[in-house]
Amino acid sequence: MTTSIPRNDYLEALAIPEFLYISEVAPNTDKAASKCLILETTTQNSFCQPGETQELLDKMLSAIGLSLNDATCLSIKSSDLEQVINEYPAQAVLIMGDYTGPQQDHIFNTHHPKDIIANTSLKREAWETLKKLKKCLK
Q: What is d(CA 78, CA 55) in angstroms, rounded to the nearest whole number?
A: 23
Least confident of 24-33, 37-46, 74-83: 24-33
Burial class (CB in 10 A: 0-12, 13-18, 19+), 4: exposed
Mean pLDDT for 48-55 is 89
**pLDDT for 57-99, tens place per residue?**
999 999 999 988 889 999 988 888 889 988 988 999 999 988 7
Mean pLDDT for 130-137 is 93
Residues 37, 72: contact at Cβ < 8 Å?
yes
Helix/strand/coil for 96: strand
Q: What is d(CA 28, CA 70) in angstroms, rounded to the nearest whole number?
A: 8
Residues 77, 42: contact at Cβ < 8 Å?
no
**pLDDT for 114-123, tens place per residue?**
999 999 999 9
More confident residue, 138 or 133: 133
